[in-house]
Structure 1
């Protein structure tokens, strides 16, 4: 099982028995619970996947608590690193033939692009800019999704690479090369020898990096000074996290978490009862992430602990949600309209000086075909979209589980015109976001119900098949009164079964 983590979001990739790949999307809440928020099946084998980040630069002297520095876009161009990372819910997935942009909020493929440069590994995804490498790790592909511009940059064959700043660090089998990109190639400025190669480079701050070379972890300063802070053959991961208002280095080994200051001073060791994969931070809370086969788990901890007993939640530890009731409004319009008549009726309603909300909602509720709705949304003008969004979002905010057809309309409004709506201060997003977040909490219950229904259906089919085979083989006719039979978890209550 592979998984990718960004902030409080986790996606895991599961290879099903039928050959299909399933992405499952999870969100970690403040109490440490992993909630399943959706999934999507992909037919093609997945080579790699990564979350897309949205980085917004701060202005007017604002700061997010980190030191301001300068970063260089590939092939020049400086940009400030005083920024805020935000999450847009999109996952970038790579197949041998395609690059897929997948929405974890709508559980759909937003866009599919041809992998014409044969990218095999994704290095980063930020603000619509994808950085990937080819099979031999001797070329970096820069892919601007907004303009569909692709640039191929020649680099030394690398084991690891850090592209986050104006100085580029490339780890090879023999050492660390330091330089920059210019005219679609890497220009080496300095080289530091590491006899056992460089397997991992982690950014600490403007002046320091963490270097993993075989069993050693070193702090490398800007003046090329090396300081070894850890030695061992059990290194699994290295992270730099803000903990208790200070940036600290967390070295994850097979049975412990080693904590250091960013200057390399040893602080504390936490033993773990089994290997963990990652550490997440939500506000001031820290969580460990680990997996077992296809299951992924989380558990809260503090850096003052001396030991973490890693254990998956039991049924008694899992918080059970209240039953979810889905209401069906019998007053909804059920007359089926053609696409042309639906479009004409909707536009007429939107263009009226005083639009009747009830009529508009009934018109939209009468159509559930996603392709038809998408086709109509594309044809609407901006003023019509704004008015339609206001009425639909207000209706969904009342109860997100009441009218499924409206959610399809809302999905295509946001996918096609989301950028305009987000920038329009007159259009309210907070109420809708709050309502949809509440609705997401019901998904685990619905997945559970779906699984149980599928199990009961399969049991019923197998039982009927067995009865039919017996009747054909022995020519025995048995009549059963279904009204008096109670099936519980696939078993028959013999005390209430009548055989005629």
Structure 2
């Protein structure tokens, strides 16, 4: 993971979406991945350079199908037959599309004619709140707020709550309105840092600092109840979770503390104490295969699972240890979050997946553990696996400036020449050796080198059409598609192979659900690789224009210099000619060692355009005339 990038993960309550924030000094990105099927990037947003994120939550929104599908229905009606009329039920169950992208099966329509969908609520440091949807490319809504919200909690039916620190105010918002619905002060504690919603009653909230409060919105500004601070555990509360089975049970963890306290809301007391192997980062509760677990995500990147966390302690100092401990075998790749996914092969069974990061890329790993005996388990986070199927998402790396670039292993020219052939028979033998090889390789590097070294259309077409069997073609298609999906910009030589494999064996390829998933990932990767094409073309045009302007400017400067040199040369030549003419007319006269030029006298003391030049004879005549005038005045004549 890059040292200049901070990554945070947020999985929605339905386990369908993962939102990650990439926080860099001059750039913040928000990416949303779909989790219900194969993990895939569904939305990518970039904030303004001056924006900074304060807090984030998911909020369940409900919208009418008629309003959401209005634009799409108009397009569909133009394409349908004029005599066909769609019933009200068909309209309610139609597929909703936005910005040209369908819902990929993530959006659910209920019988009430509305769509439930989780929205991502992002509060900025300056106070404004941004609403994002996994199904839209642009911001859904921007809510104006005067001051920073330090904690958010999603409710349902389009509403969420936030706590404003400067005014010590609880505020209620709607994801579809542009300002707060109401705000109410809480004056009992001015150090609140967390807010949670209690599902038992629409008017009850949990607030926390180093203390924990139950608040009834109707009775503000005071709390209904304040839980006593446990002795020896006085740091601020950093995480609050509610039991899924018993909504009367909540659990809290504190900053720099390895103890978790479990409380009963109705009894208003502490019922059990859990001890983790290191300090807790945050808590999460999941339900997997009808068993509820409290998961502690620890500062060292490991996970502690607690199965009997609701069990009432027998003694005052009775501590419950973790039932399952899961560790990473690579300290730099911490386990960031977990989510549940239904097992398609085994109905009524759930699988648990962990999320960790390779640099800034999310990796999804299935967690295998014994739900009966528990124990300690290790996840291998050194390999890039997705869903345990060796499927790697497109890998993005960063340079020293935090700029992203796609990276792939290069293929040397010498290696390409080694596998280059001139006939389809030779090419088929090379391919057959790799495709039928019993030796498993993790990267298929030789196969890729063979294909990349032979990109003649005639040879590739003949090989695919007449040499490769259907099974071999499908096998080659799978490997090449995964390679191109990972590094589309570095696999241009392989595209010719993909082209003929699809043309010749397209019918066989689309019959397999796995291949359809591969095609979908391939399409997504290729679209991502062309995402900035228009911007690059525009930039290329601007650079070409600047280059042309610079070239023209240099040519004009050179031409101006040449003209100036010629004019100066002509002026010097004219001056020399005038001097020569004067010398020829008067002849060179000397006075001692001084030349004729040295006897020139400047009148008025300046060498300007009005200067008159006198030679030595003129000076002598002027002196004689002056002496005669003086003598006349003295009476000598």
**TM-score, reference length from structure 1:** 0.47
Bigger share in helix: 2
Whose strand fraction is larger, Structure 1's or Structure 2's? 1
Taking CA–CA contacts closer than 8 Å with sequence separation of 6 or more, which of the two structures ends up with the larger relative contact order?
1
